[in-house]
Amino acid sequence: MKIELRKVSSTPLDFEVKSDEMTFKGYLQYDADKLILLKAGLNGEIDVNCDICAEEFRLDIDEDLEFFISDGLYEKREESLLDVVESLDSTIDLEAILSSEIELIKSDYHSCENCNKNSTFE
C-alpha cells in the first residue's frame, strides 16, 4: 500500500497492512513543516532462530512504532530529537516499512525459552 504524502492531512488517515504473520495497523497524520506522523502497532508472531542453541521458535510481537516521515529532505536541527524518515518520491510504502521492521526484529538477539531457563540457573 503506497500512500501519497500530499494526501495526508491533519485528520488521521487510518491504515492496516498485513503480511503472512504480522499486522501493521495505525494512522498517518500531517504534523507541521512537511512532517507526517506515523503512529502504529505491530502485532503478530514470527519465527526466529535462537542465538544460543540455533533452534527455531515463535516470537510474539507487540510493538508500538512512532516516527515522522519527511516529504523530501529533512534538515535536522541540532536540538531536534525527532525520529525522521525521508521520502524522496513523496510517497510512503507501508509494506516496505512493515518488511523492514520484521527484518529488524529478526536481526535482533533472541534466545528461546529453554535457553532463558538455563541461563537463570547459572
Here the cell at position 97 is 516499512
Residue reference for cell 504480522: 22
In whole angstroms, give the CA distance from residue 85 to residue 30: 14
> Which of residues 38, 50, 94, 98 is near Zn ion by CB under 5 A?
50
Q: How many Å is the maximal CA-CA distance in the chain? A: 56
Q: Taking contact as CB under 5 A, which single stretch among the options 8-16, 22-30, 97-105, 112-120 is the one that binds Zn ion?
A: 112-120
Instruction: Report the residue count for the chain.
Output: 122
Nearest approach in angstroms of CB 54 to Zn ion is: 7
Which positions from 55 through 94 interact with Zn ion, judged by CB under 5 A? 55
CB of 59 to Zn ion, least distance (A): 12
Grid cell of 77 as nine digits: 536541527
| Residues at the interface with Zn ion (CB under 5 A) | 50, 52-53, 55, 112, 115
